[in-house]
Structure 1
Amino acid sequence: MQKYRYVREALQRELPSTLATFYESPLVSEKDLTLVHCEGYVSRFLGGQLTRDELRRIGFPWSPQHVNRALSSTGGTVAAAHAVCRADATAIFAGHIAGGTHHAFADRGEGYCVFNDIAVAAAVALRDHAARVQRVLVVDCDVHQGNGTASIFAGDERVFTASFHCEANLFSAREVSDLDVDLPPGVGDEAYLEALQAHLPGLFERVRPQLCFFQAGVDVHESDRIGKLKLSSAGIKKRNALVYAAAARHGARLVVTMGGGYPKDLDESSVHFHRVVQSHMDCYRQCASAHARLSREAPEA
């Protein structure tokens, strides 16, 4: 859990105000949550009424602090979507230094995910910014399949879900995304990037999204404890660059979320901890740099 604080504080020290402005994540409203989540599930979680088995599937004990964390983890992604979609938006890309909770289903949470922040934010954008957003693309590059997101948007033609994941990493039953790219255990930089390059340009051409969500999990890293893939830090940076370049090329607004990353060694001074934290930071460093380039290239209004 401490990685969230490390990543945020380091980025705030490192990134100048000309590249990034930081805001505290707001708490998502129940109204927004119930765009994709069942009212009964939302009410029971907020009131501390989930069963022992339901909490076991989520992986966290219930507490008022955990409620606020879950609401903030979703609210930050919603706020980032508003930042790039509203009519007076000056931001093209935005990031949330949390989120990526893609194992939350409409009626339950799983895999350390209570609410599905990307699904909620996509639904909010389609509702509140309908004049600007009619098609949404989710590019999920976490090592685990984005099963909750796939389930929530099954049959919804406005949202296209694409998941690039290790075929041996499933939290629970597999769902069907609009595009699933299964990668075998042990895949490294070359094969992973080839797979991404084979699909990414066609995805943007086919979907023509006005808004893209990038689930930028770094549990594909070779230093990850449970990921089963073998990407290097340099390989993950190339992955990020491909997504940002594709979104820029097709004029899509973009929101990046954190996703997974579980160091083999939880000692904060260890090389594995350092590599995972730095890879998380790279996702946001590159997002800020890509946004700065796009802003410079944008024609005068």
Structure 2
Amino acid sequence: MHSRLRPELPLFYNDVYRVDLPDGHRFPMEKYRLVREGLQGELLGRVNGIPAVSFAVSPTASLDDLCTTHDKGYVERYFEGRFTNRENRTVGFPWSEASVKRSLSSVGGTVAAMHAVCADGELRDRRPGARRTPPSLFSGHIAGGTHHAFSDRGEGFCVFSDIAVAANVALRDYPETIRQILIVDCDVHQGNGNAVLFKSKPEVSTFSIHCKANYFSEKEDSDVDIEVEEGAGDEEYLSLLSERLPSLVDHVRPDLIFYQGGVDPLEHDRLGRLSLTREGLRLRNRLVYDTALARGIPTVLTMGGGYPKDLDPASEDFGHIVRSHRDVYEDAAACINTSAF
């Protein structure tokens, strides 16, 4: 157990880097602002029963950090607007200077969240085999989860992999304390990019639980892949997750966990093909958090997918997605507050 003066959940957000998409574009860009505003209203507005939560604008990722993971030529071509039309279509966004800033902040916020749980770990306990006590056990980025990016190409609304970059930066910057990392990917789509990026890197283990009928590109091999049947609901999904995740964590013994908390398994999601309820997703969140907390493992939360059937931000469908995204962070705050440190 950890002893701290106060539990704190540092959160980073990048909705200030706004990208105006063409009319009819299917990406729900407004959800990021709505999730952040909802969290600020809920978590900053309460004192008793909620841990201290901080909010900060996501920094933009550096070239050095990006190149821990991505091909330098690929990164520079994107910076300079030299993607082909086909590359832009595959990523899913038209190129603009605003989109570059948003992509960089999508990575930079996850890197910053990683530093928030790792930064002073090396200073607290240098005994062989001892776990560090981070300033915060959980941190989060209200964006990111861009798990379909590869070293030299992107797809599925992902230019760079924020989690992969943050994982590689953690291994680079905290070699004494971060030796093993686990990516827990609960998006409805397989984390194919991260599976490839870490295929030959035993320091990072990849776990993906996703819909069996929802591959939009070639399937890749994670260290552990769990395919959930189309239409599955809470009981089947949670049974599979609870059967595999805690034992995997005990086997890997990670020093750091990244949680891709996509909400597209939700029954209201336009693209998901699963039938989880909001309560089912909250139980999923709690399972991940309880597993990490029980073992004292610092955990970084990212947003991932969530696609409303109605793209009007004022619609009920849009509200379902926003509410479930908020739950990912609010459930973390509640878990921190109710746990003994």
What TM-score do the two structures reach when normalised by structure 2? 0.85
Q: Deviations over 1:268-289 (max 9, x none)?
A: 3322211111000000001122
Corresponding position of 2:81 = 48
Residues 1:26 and 2:54 are matched in the alignment: no
Corresponding position of 1:219 = 264
Please tell me the residue identity of whatever aligns with 1:2. E
Residues 1:62 and 2:106 are matched in the alignment: no
1:291 deviates by 2.6
**Conservation of the 8 A alpha-carbon contact between 1:98 and 1:258:** yes
Please tell me the residue identity of whatever aligns with 1:107. D
Residues 1:291 and 2:291 are matched in the alignment: no
1:249 deviates by 1.2
How far apart, CA to CA, are the structure 1 residues paired with 2:311 and 2:158? Answer: 21
Please tell me the residue identity of whatever aligns with 1:77. T
**Conservation of the 8 A alpha-carbon contact between 1:164 and 1:181:** yes
**Alignment identity in percent?**
53
Corresponding position of 2:20 = none
Residues 1:113 and 2:181 are matched in the alignment: no
More helix by share: 1
Corresponding position of 2:118 = 85
Aligned partner of 2:192 among 147, 170, 175: 147
**Conservation of the 8 A alpha-carbon contact between 1:19 and 1:292:** no
Please tell me the residue identity of whatever aligns with 2:240. A
Q: Deviations over 1:98-124 (max 9, x none)?
A: 000000001111000010000000000
Aligned partner of 1:10 among 32, 38, 46: 38
Unaligned runs of 5+ in 2: 1-28, 122-133
How far apart, CA to CA, are the structure 1 residues paired with 2:82 and 2:314? Answer: 39
What TM-score do the two structures reach when normalised by structure 1? 0.96
How far apart, CA to CA, are the structure 1 residues paired with 2:113 and 2:337? Answer: 16
How far apart, CA to CA, are the structure 2 residues paired with 1:93 and 1:220? Answer: 23
Please tell me the residue identity of whatever aligns with 2:37. E
1:194 deviates by 0.3
Q: Deviations over 1:199-241 (max 9, x none)?
A: 0111110010110000000000000001000000000000000
Corresponding position of 2:279 = 234
1:262 deviates by 0.3
Q: Give the 4+ runs in structure 1 shifted more than 3 A.
A: none
Please tell me the residue identity of whatever aligns with 1:119. A
Q: Deviations over 1:14-67 (max 9, x none)?
A: 102743100100000000000010011000001100111111110000000000
In the TM superposition, 1:120-269 aligns within 5 A as 120-269=165-314
Aligned length in residues: 296
Please tell me the residue identity of whatever aligns with 1:5. R
Please tell me the residue identity of whatever aligns with 1:214. Y
Please tell me the residue identity of whatever aligns with 1:106. S
1:263 deviates by 0.7
Unaligned runs of 5+ in 1: none
